[in-house]
Structure 1
Amino acid sequence: MCGRYASARKRQELLEEFEVGVDGTSQELAADYNVAPTKKVYAVLTRPEVPDGEKEGKGGQAAQPVRQLRVLKWGLVPSWAKDPSVGSRMINARVETLTEKPSFRKAFAQRRCLLPADGYYEWYRADKKTKQPYFIHPEDGGVMAMAGLYEFWKDRARADDDPLKWLVTCTVITRSAEDHLGRIHDRMPVVIHKDRWSDWLDPAHTDTGEMLGMLADSPPSGLVAYPVSSEVNSVRNNGPHLLERDDSDETALF
């Protein structure tokens, strides 16, 4: 499971790192060292540049897909959901069931994204009373591109010209953890390497079997871990100090 992560890079840095063609954001998100479910997050996706909810190619020649940076809400809300509150329970999508779960199946075929992160947090249960948090991040200090899905949900109670009519949400795809990280927790986010970003984001690639094969054939993540303060346990705590190594707990693995 991935239930918290850090995302402190500025919008301009992400636009350059991901070679984004269109800045689709309307706001600069503040550096967040304790990203929690239901928060707004940056996402990179490729789709025609049309208003949310409009049909792609509506009214004439189809618009060409372009790589965009967007601000989405973490916690996927399926288009058919009656209540957007279900998103809080859909922060992760297991790679093993992407093609089976109705909540994720269509998005996996058509709406894949990347969720930029500096790293994520996971908790190691030393005993029934103690859980030691770890920060897991790219060893080279680069950006971590987590595989994700995004979806559109329409609030039918709002007017068509209401900017809140459409809610765009996302989820992080997870897989079994690599051996050295599995000591901490048995799940981890799927990391997409830069040379595969274009293929992953391309909405024309609708063959889910092919996409699953790409994920299964992905190289090692290049992630490492170290213990951090239990301050990260509370979503009320934030700031770069949460990333500082904390060796005070004798139960730490590394």
Structure 2
Amino acid sequence: MCGRFTLTLDPGELQELLDLGPFVHIVQPRYNIAPSQPIPIVKDANKREVELYRWGFVPSWADDPAIGNRMINARSETAHEKPSFRAAFKRRRCLILADGFFEWHADQKSAPKTPYLFKLKNDHPFTFAGLYEHWQAPEGGELHTCTILTCPPNDLVKDYHNRMPVMLGESARWHWLAEDADKNKLLDMLTPYPAEEMKCFPVSRAVNTPSNDSPEILEPLKE
């Protein structure tokens, strides 16, 4: 599962390191991104423009957009066949910009859980594999939402959770957006990111409160 993540680099760094197209600087550093908040996505491999979509997928046929609160993640193994996600898997795939994500862990069963921040060892940004959708409100407004795909954990994450977000490397991310991509080739991309390229460390339990969104909460704790 992925229920909280970070995007701490400034727009110029993101544009350069992820090879994004020119975009209005709508993306500001975020240290504790939570469900239902607007998050930056890229939908087109040619334009590579960044847009903000609400985190929490609302299918186009849903009666109540509150369903999105329960659909922040989609299982990569089954999203292509589930009624909620299969149309989006076929036609509305996206990249979600990030540079870290959190999982919670307790060293002892009776101890309170501590958030751990997972990042790349080089501290570069990366992209989650995502799906997006448009929901039409009865009164005429439109809601743009998205979800993060998850997969089984790699050897680093498995001690903290039984799922992890799908992180697409440089060679895969733009193929994920290809309009003519073969379904089986897409499914082959949705694998655990190499553990040897990642690191993790404990951070403050202030992360537990989404309104805490400052650099200080990401300082490594002494174990």
TM-score normalised by L of structure 1: 0.80
Partner residue in 1 for 2:86:
105
- Kindly indicate whether residue 214 of structure 2 is the aligned counterpart of residue 242 of structure 1: no
What do the CA deviations read for 1:169-207 (whole angstroms, capped 9, x no partner)? 1111111111221111111111100111221111222x3
Alignment identity in percent? 38
Provide structure 1 residue ranges, at least 5 long, that are not aligned to the other structure: 48-64, 159-164, 249-254
Distance 1:12 1:168, change over 3 A: farther
Q: 2:148 aligns with which of 172, 182, 196?
A: 172
1:169 & 1:83 partners in 2: Cα distance? 13
Shift of 1:30: 3.3
Distance in 1 (alpha carbons) for counterparts of 2:21 and 2:156: 37
Letter paired with 1:220 = P
Counterpart residue number, 1:13: 13
Instruction: Give, in whole Å, the separation in 2 of the partners of 1:214 and 1:168.
Output: 25
Three-state SS of the structure 2 residue aligned to 1:46 is: coil
The 5-angstrom pairing of residues 42-191 of structure 1 reads 42-46=40-44, 66-125=47-106, 126-158=108-140, 165-191=141-167
2:206 aligned counterpart, secondary structure = helix
TM-score, normalisation: structure 2: 0.91
CA–CA separation in structure 2 for the residues paired with 1:219 and 1:184: 15
When the two chains are superposed, the root-mean-square deviation of aligned CA atoms in Å is 1.9
Aligned residues: 221
Match of 1:58 in 2: none
Q: Which runs of 4+ in 1 moved over 4 A?
A: none
Query: Partners in 1 of 2:83 and 2:98 — Cα distance?
Result: 27
Counterpart Cα distance in 1 of 2:128 and 2:158: 17
Question: Which SS does the other structure have where 1:103 is aligned?
Answer: coil
Deviation of 1:44 (Å): 1.4
State whether residues 98 and 108 of structure 1, in contact with CA within 8 Å, keep that contact through their aligned partners in structure 2.
yes
Q: Which amino acid counterpart does residue 130 of structure 1 have in structure 2?
A: P
Larger Rg: 1
Give the gaps of 5 or more residues in structure 2: none
Query: Is 1:212 aligned to 2:193, yes or no?
Result: no
For the residues of structure 2 that align with 1:224 and 1:168, how far apart are their CA atoms?
A: 33
